[in-house]
């Protein structure tokens, strides 16, 4: 779900407190972006889906949340062509995947203490 080796090296490079601050910002930012994605999907706003999924994908990769980033990449690519089926499948997974990712990140950082 997350790339712990990447987080380990990031933590060594930047320090635990800095990376944890980045994680806390990711929690807030990704939650807002998830809401924007769900709203854009309800409104069938493919341009918004493309922009927000790209942003969430990048943020997820920065936090080593690879599975979340993969689903966002699917939404981004399908939005460019207005392909509803792959977006629907990815959107359905996102809320649970997001919640699980945040829990795994939280566990990772609690083990560093």
CATH number, domain with residue 31: 1.20.120.160
Judge contact between 106 and 5, C-beta under 8 A.
no
The predicted model scores a pTM of 0.93
Dump pLDDT digits (tens) for 51-108.
999 999 999 999 999 999 999 999 999 999 999 999 999 999 999 999 999 999 999 9
Q: Radius of gyration of the chain from Cα atoms? A: 14
Number of domains in the chain: 1
- Provide the pLDDT confidence category of residue 112 given band limits of 50, 70 and 90: confident
Q: Region 10-23: what's the mean pLDDT? A: 94
Strands (E), the chain: none
Rounded Cα distance, 88 and 19, in Å? 33
- Provide the pLDDT confidence category of residue 113 given band limits of 50, 70 and 90: low
- Tell me the residue range of the domain where 24 lies: 4-112
């Amino acid at each position: 779900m997350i790339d712990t080796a990447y987080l380990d090296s990031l933590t060594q490079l930047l320090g635990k407190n800095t990376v944890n601050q980045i994680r806390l910002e990711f929690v807030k930012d990704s939650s807002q972006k998830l809401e924007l994605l769900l709203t854009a999907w309800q409104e069938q706003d493919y341009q918004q889906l493309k922009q927000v999924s790209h942003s969430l994908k990048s943020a997820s990769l920065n936090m080593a949340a690879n599975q979340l980033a993969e689903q966002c990449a699917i939404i981004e690519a399908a939005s460019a062509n207005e392909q509803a089926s792959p977006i629907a499948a990815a959107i359905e997974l996102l809320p649970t995947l997001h919640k699980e990712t945040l829990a795994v990140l939280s566990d990772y950082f609690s083990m560093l203490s």
